[in-house]
């Protein structure tokens, strides 16, 4: 299904099992406005409920991936509305909305087509795999806007690139070009046509057993708790997959030297 191009986030299905969510406010470099956030939540609800989705790609329309949070509303409210408690009550739902790729049950690919700033970097980091165009740039200049980082920046960056490099990005706010992002592990590949490359990888992932794929994503999240938590999870998740029809299809396909046709059962 393709959404109308006037929408703030466009959802399309270029191939069976593959969905693409395109941030579609290029005039503001795909900033996370209130309308964009509402549209994003609707798209996340739709893909989360779609049992046929096996991979989601997130990208930006125009020359930017995402310029981060739009905080212009800070200047629009009355002084009594701009209190710590009220700001916190507004920030937490905003963070959780844009970090939803992390909790989706299937892999999410960020096709970073251009510069991404602040919370936009956190959105990319919330995705399971990140590919960059040669025009991609990553920066987290929170402190140079006079604010603390948000949307999980102080956790997501160290997880992806290590504490020392995360400090570098958060303290200096400098641009990290695509080549350096690849060297640091912020992205896993660079492509001239990042969306086409992402679609190719998504097509490969979509051929995997959907039950095993979903459980593997959960297992990777469990790994943060350490080895014992991982093997406890695997000792449950692997037997689950061993009771599925997909397991028998996978074995048969291997023996017959053909591509498997998984049904998700």
The answer to which of 5-9, 58-62, 120-124 has the lowest mean pLDDT is 5-9
Which H or E element spans position 210?
helix 210-222
User: In the chain, pLDDT over 90 holds for what percent of residues?
Assistant: 85
Provide the pLDDT confidence category of residue 1 given band limits of 50, 70 and 90.
Answer: very low
Q: What is the pLDDT of residue 2?
A: 42
pLDDT at residue 78 greater than cutoff 70:
no
Domain 9-206 CATH assignment equals 3.90.226.10: yes
CB 117 within 8 A of CB 173: no
In sequence order, the β-bridge partners of residue 108 are 56
- Overall average pLDDT of the 191-211 stretch: 97
Task: Specify the DSSP element, H or E, that contains 117.
Answer: strand 116-117
> Exposed (0-12), middle (13-18) or buried (19+): which is 226, by Cβ within 10 Å?
exposed
Residues 128-144 pLDDT 10s: 999 999 999 999 999 99
pTM of the complete model: 0.93
> Residue 6: what pLDDT?
53
What mean pLDDT is predicted for residues 151-169? 97
CB 262 within 8 A of CB 210: yes
Which comes out higher in pLDDT, residue 258 or 73? 258
Q: What is the pLDDT averaged over residues 147-161?
A: 96
């Amino acid at each position: 299904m393709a959404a109308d191009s006037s929408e703030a986030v466009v959802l399309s299905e270029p191939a069976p099992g593959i969905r693409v969510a395109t941030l579609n406010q290029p005039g503001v470099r795909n900033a996370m406005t209130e309308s964009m956030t509402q549209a994003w939540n609707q798209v996340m609800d739709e893909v989360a409920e779609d049992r046929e989705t096996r991979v989601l790609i997130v990208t930006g329309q125009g020359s930017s991936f995402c310029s981060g949070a739009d905080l212009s509303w800070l200047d629009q409210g009355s002084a009594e509305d701009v209190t710590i408690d009220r700001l916190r009550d507004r920030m937490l739902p905003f963070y959780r909305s844009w970090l939803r790729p992390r909790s989706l049950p299937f892999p999410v690919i960020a096709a970073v087509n251009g510069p991404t700033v602040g919370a936009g970097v956190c959105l990319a980091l919330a995705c399971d795999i990140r590919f960059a165009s040669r025009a991609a740039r990553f920066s987290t200049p929170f402190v140079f806007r006079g604010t603390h980082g948000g949307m999980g920046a102080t956790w997501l960056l160290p997880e992806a690139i290590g504490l020392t490099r995360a400090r570098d990005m958060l303290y200096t706010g400098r641009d990290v070009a695509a080549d350096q992002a690849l060297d640091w592990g912020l992205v896993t590949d660079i492509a001239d046509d990042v969306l086409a490359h992402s679609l190719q990888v998504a097509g490969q992932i979509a051929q995997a057993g959907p039950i095993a794929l979903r459980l593997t994503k959960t297992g990777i999240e469990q790994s943060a708790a350490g080895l014992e938590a991982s093997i406890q999870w695997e000792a449950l998740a692997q037997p689950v997959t061993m009771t599925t029809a997909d397991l028998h299809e996978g074995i048969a396909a291997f023996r017959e030297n053909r591509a498997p046709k998984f049904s998700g059962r």
